[in-house]
Structure 1
Amino acid sequence: MYKYRNLVEAIQDASRLKDKGIIFIQDKNTDVFVSYEQLYKRAKRVLYILQSKGLTAGRELIFQIQDNEQFIYVFWACLLGGIIPVPVSVGNNVEHKLKPLRIWNILHKPALVIDLEMFDDLQKVGNQNDLHHVFGNIKENTIYIEDIFKCDTNDLPSEEGAIFEPLQDDIAFIQYSSGSTGNPKGVTLTHNNLIANITAVAYEVEMSCKDSFISWLPLTHDMGMIGAHLTPLLNHMNQCIMATQLFIRMPTLWLKKATEYKVSVLLSPNFGYQYYLSHFSPVLGENLDLSACRLVFNGAEPISYELCNEFLDTMEQYGLKRESMFTVYGMAEASVAVAFPKAGEVFKTVFIDRRNAGMGDTVLEVNPDNRNAIGFVEEGHAVDFCMLRVCDAWDIPVDDRVIGEIQIRGANVTSGYYNNPDANEKLFTKDGWVKTGDLGFLRDGRLVVTGRIKDIIFVNGQNFYPHDIERVLEGLEEIQTGRVVATSISDSRTKTESIVIFVLFKKSSSAFL
């Protein structure tokens, strides 16, 4: 059914290619090309080090690695040795920094890979939060980056590790979300899950080895790792991986590099396009050429049709085609992709009456200029090897154009959260479908996602989506895009909710009022 049985076979096949690989964009003037042949060789040498440190197949390895090139070598070393990678984003606040410690207690027999400076910082944060008792065990099972890469990523031993041949249903890696609140839930992803989804993605958009990718997303993110790294590797394409912090510092470098390398596929959540536009000016657009770009993936968070149009309007003069905007739906529980529109079509916007936008409502389509209109993008049909349905509160499928919870199942869908039976009990329906927690409806078989169930605000008998409120407020001249958050507070006495708006406003209070 698939080209490969597991990811080990995939990297071994790709290693035949000396002219295809990864361009690591490390700084404005520093790009490093690593062929898939070099990646395979270096990963085997890193595996030798991991195995010499006592790591064996089935052990979990928590990643706290900032450098993308180092991250990729260690990731593939784990896959080649049957070690289970557990990528965790590096923290920039206390809650984020505590996350790997919380994950440590969930895993069976974990180890940690981290640099010396970050380990000292992690230990300090742990001690300040009464977690010093766990550090004895952690320190004994920590591998320092400095012990793997002595001077640089080329400074590796000549010895190679022993390769483990995984079965299709063996765990490939565990995907934790980037959030810091609540108890961490790790999505278990097998080799079969990943290969099924990557195969479907490539088929849906007719990918070929002539395509090339660029992404600034963290490798701890499903779109960054699976969408922007594994997908091009398995399909023998070139890929550009831009450091996330570099994108934050210099967002316009993103499309300059896309121009330089004639990239055909961009990937980003809605935020990335907004952030890019907020720093762009025509002067910075000199020499941009996006005519090679045929797909602009937009997913992973609520998609703004206004922003899609603004990005296309701005970039059209630099050769970007309107049909390139590719509005998609996915999640870590599905590996990465759930629903895609048809490639090569201009994205579609559906306007419905916001007064009929709650669970169980039959949507009423209206004109865009209707005062009650709220717009959503179509996100297409289920990709191959994945099924989706829309259900009511009792998990019974609803009719076309009725809003309900989106549920999924298929070869790409996880078997559950790692070592978390309580969360798994809530994840699945009685007939085995994953409950996504997202609301939406089918429109002639094409999915329209409207929001998160838990985010809906219920006031005076009406449902409000926070992102709808935020978009309305962002339409005001005084409020910048991305500087407003809508939420609610509950009154336990009256059993009612009230809408609360947080605005980042840097002018005077009199100007705000």
Structure 2
Amino acid sequence: MQSTGRKLLSWINSPSEKHGIRFTADRRSWDFWSYQRLSDLSHRVAAGLVANGVSAGDVVSIVERSSPHFVATLFGTMLAGATPSPIAPPMTFGDQETYAEHVAGLLTVSQPALVVTDSDLAAPTSELTGRLGLRPPVPVTELADTPGSVPDRPLAPAALLQFTSGSSGRARGVRVPYRALESNVEAIRRWLRMTEEDVTASWLPVHHDMGLIGCLITPMVNRSEIWLMQPEDFIRDPARFLRCFGEDGARLTAMPTFGLRYATRRVRPKALANCDFSEWRAVIVGAERISPEALDGFTELLAPYGFRRRALLPAYGLAEATLAATGLPLAEEWRGLRVDPTSVELGGIVGEDSSGRQLAGCGRPVDGVTVRILGPDDTPLPEGHVGEIELCGDSVAEGYASVESSDSLTCLSDGVLRTGDAGFLSDGQLFVLGRLGDALKIRGRSLFAEDLEVALNTTVNVPEERMAVVLGERGGTPTAVAVMERAQPDWLTGAEPLLRQLTEGADVAVIDAPPGTIPRTSSGKPKRRSLWRSFLHGDLPEAAPPQTASAAPATTGGSDD
């Protein structure tokens, strides 16, 4: 086997009987699989893939839940010399038609030699593969029971074909070579100073980069134990997840701010009565712009039981960077910066204002990653200046699986990643403002959709998971649209004047919509471009006719780019 990839697969070649992964078995118990047992199953799945005609360099799509079989299919595909491509199982989508359309797009891009599923998902998945002219899916249990052996094959050119979330356009397949995956795994291990005794617990979906690389592959390479819940188990009982740290010895995890807010809202102190969180070392927080209020609320809930504020580690990353790009160092408390919204102008100096909105710093670049902020003319800007975030280094992915045009601003070229996100550096830390394509330009300053969502949440008390804001230009007029699912009357009456004040003359539409109207990625982020198109096409419920004030001219930042 070639040298690249050895670290990633080292746990298979010398598996531990002592350490392994605990999977949720039911609402109370866990099913322990040692790394030795998982290694054996991975080899059996690899042999089954070869026997089913998977050749070196092929793509294998994996439609499975978090389970021992998912782990075995992931690593078994690598052992077979092929490229694994995890895809969300259908239970992560509420609407099955939307799910079918989503998966059909992914399979069209990846063109897998084989689709591997859980046994109960084979039938519905076969309808999709048949429609696309692909082979019928094979249940993983059938692969594991197929006689055969694994030939000595070189590793595939890509360790993963992982898909972006699709929050700013269609999901795109990212080719992650072994060098990038190994580099990012090692950077995360060094960042967290991981030892074999550092237990990781996670409820994140394993088809998404944060759950897959941060909370599964990295601790497996580290040969440390993992407590792995299904996402729906966390939704049902978030206290059970917290008890992994308060009672069972887990120390490391990662989650989006949604997870912090959900646990804070749902967990009652009596559920934590026997917990001690003093050994909880790290909660990596990412996947969306980080809410300082969510960080504070989570700390307030757990602090009486020994949780320390410095365990919260805000971070920034994306699929094209494999996973992590920046993160707050251990033992350094996160800091917020209050920004004057009138100073946020691309290429300009960001101003501080004690009454302005607070941003949480996302830490400093992890090992092997370089971060630059680029101005409107693509020249690097000094600290304190607002521009586009650019990344380069060993963790940057190779490229996209398809060269078809995309409406995403994110692009890869020669090891350089233009993220399409706006931000600035302060004291070496990265502060993220939002997507460049989700902004309006008003009197020279940039107003981001995330800014308006924060204002609606903090001023009108609209829950973040019940709304989304999209910005763009309709008929030549800058327009802000707030969609609220099952809105309360006070949300509607409070939202319109607030948005008119903040957008300074743009048209404003406030829409009360039924649950499920806001399209979201499998990681929970709103798909703004899709929602904007639905608004333009008249597919959303009626809103009050927009009224344009004559006070201030505005230009669009191109939300529909």
Q: TM-score scaled by structure 2?
A: 0.81
Inter-partner Cα distance in structure 2 for 1:425 and 1:454 = 8
Deviation at 1:502, TM superposition (A): 2.1
Determine whether 1:142 maps to 2:137: yes
**Would you say the 8 A contact 1:416–1:424 is kept in 2?**
no
Inter-partner Cα distance in structure 2 for 1:416 and 1:489 = 29
**Would you say the 8 A contact 1:333–1:413 is kept in 2?**
yes
Deviation at 1:180, TM superposition (A): 8.2
**Would you say the 8 A contact 1:58–1:84 is kept in 2?**
yes
Moved more, 83-92 or 185-194: 83-92
1:337-376 equivalent positions in 2, closer than 5 A: 337-367=324-354, 370=355, 373-376=356-359
User: Given residue 307 of structure 1, which amino acid in structure 2 is its aligned partner?
Assistant: A
Residue of 182, 186, 190 corresponding to 1:203: 190
| 1:439-490 Cα deviation digits (max 9, x unpaired) | 1111132211111111113356543222222222222475334323222352
**Would you say the 8 A contact 1:88–1:220 is kept in 2?**
yes
**Would you say the 8 A contact 2:64–2:89 is kept in 1?**
yes
Residue of 365, 368, 387 corresponding to 2:370: 387
Which residue of the partner structure matches residue 499 of structure 1?
480
Moved more, 172-181 or 346-355: 172-181
Inter-partner Cα distance in structure 2 for 1:174 and 1:83 = 10
Inter-partner Cα distance in structure 1 for 2:232 and 2:292 = 27
Say how many residue pairs are matched.
Answer: 487
Moved more, 175-184 or 62-71: 175-184
Deviation at 1:266, TM superposition (A): 2.0
The 1:148/1:500 distance shift into structure 2, 3 A limit, reads same
Inter-partner Cα distance in structure 2 for 1:326 and 1:289 = 19
**Would you say the 8 A contact 1:479–1:505 is kept in 2?**
no
Determine whether 1:41 maps to 2:21: no
User: Given residue 39 of structure 1, which amino acid in structure 2 is its aligned partner?
Assistant: L
User: Given residue 423 of structure 2, which amino acid in structure 1 is its aligned partner?
Assistant: G
Determine whether 1:175 maps to 2:162: yes
| 1:118-171 Cα deviation digits (max 9, x unpaired) | 3433455x5xxxx9652xx32x3532235236xxxxxx467543343427xx21
User: Given residue 247 of structure 2, which amino acid in structure 1 is its aligned partner?
Assistant: E
Inter-partner Cα distance in structure 2 for 1:141 and 1:176 = 22
Which residue of the partner structure matches residue 264 of structure 1?
251
Residue of 216, 220, 225 corresponding to 1:229: 216
The 1:222/1:298 distance shift into structure 2, 3 A limit, reads same
Deviation at 1:410, TM superposition (A): 0.9
Which residue of the partner structure matches residue 23 of structure 2?
24
Determine whether 1:412 maps to 2:395: yes
Determine whether 1:98 maps to 2:81: no
Inter-partner Cα distance in structure 1 for 2:456 and 2:465 = 10
Inter-partner Cα distance in structure 2 for 1:477 and 1:423 = 35
The 1:206/1:46 distance shift into structure 2, 3 A limit, reads same
Determine whether 1:161 maps to 2:150: yes
Quote the sequence identity (%).
25
Deviation at 1:110, TM superposition (A): 2.7
Deviation at 1:201, TM superposition (A): 1.3
Inter-partner Cα distance in structure 2 for 1:132 and 1:9 = 34
**Would you say the 8 A contact 2:87–2:103 is kept in 1?**
yes
Deviation at 1:189, TM superposition (A): 0.6
Residue of 237, 241, 265 corresponding to 1:254: 241
Which residue of the partner structure matches residue 123 of structure 2?
120
Which residue of the partner structure matches residue 72 of structure 1?
71
Q: TM-score scaled by structure 1?
A: 0.88
Which residue of the partner structure matches residue 60 of structure 2?
61
Determine whether 1:245 maps to 2:267: no
User: Given residue 351 of structure 1, which amino acid in structure 2 is its aligned partner?
Assistant: R
The 1:145/1:40 distance shift into structure 2, 3 A limit, reads closer
User: Given residue 79 of structure 2, which amino acid in structure 1 is its aligned partner?
Assistant: L
Inter-partner Cα distance in structure 2 for 1:157 and 1:380 = 48
| 1:191-227 Cα deviation digits (max 9, x unpaired) | 1111111111111222111211111111111110110
List gaps (5 residues or longer) in structure 1: 150-155
The 1:451/1:315 distance shift into structure 2, 3 A limit, reads same
Which residue of the partner structure matches residue 153 of structure 1?
none
Determine whether 1:12 maps to 2:15: no
Determine whether 1:336 maps to 2:331: no
Inter-partner Cα distance in structure 1 for 2:387 and 2:367 = 22
Inter-partner Cα distance in structure 1 for 2:226 and 2:425 = 34
Deviation at 1:505, TM superposition (A): 4.4
List gaps (5 residues or longer) in structure 2: 494-561
Inter-partner Cα distance in structure 2 for 1:435 and 1:281 = 43
**Would you say the 8 A contact 1:213–1:232 is kept in 2?**
yes
Inter-partner Cα distance in structure 1 for 2:414 and 2:293 = 38
Determine whether 1:304 maps to 2:291: yes
**Would you say the 8 A contact 1:8–1:79 is kept in 2?**
no
**Would you say the 8 A contact 1:395–1:429 is kept in 2?**
no
Which residue of the partner structure matches residue 416 of structure 2?
433
Which residue of the partner structure matches residue 467 of structure 1?
450
Which residue of the partner structure matches residue 290 of structure 1?
277
Moved more, 98-107 or 78-87: 98-107
Inter-partner Cα distance in structure 2 for 1:81 and 1:403 = 46
**Would you say the 8 A contact 1:96–1:180 is kept in 2?**
no
User: Any idea what SS the aligned residue of 2:48 has?
Assistant: helix
Inter-partner Cα distance in structure 2 for 1:476 and 1:396 = 37
User: Given residue 468 of structure 1, which amino acid in structure 2 is its aligned partner?
Assistant: D
Which residue of the partner structure matches residue 173 of structure 2?
186
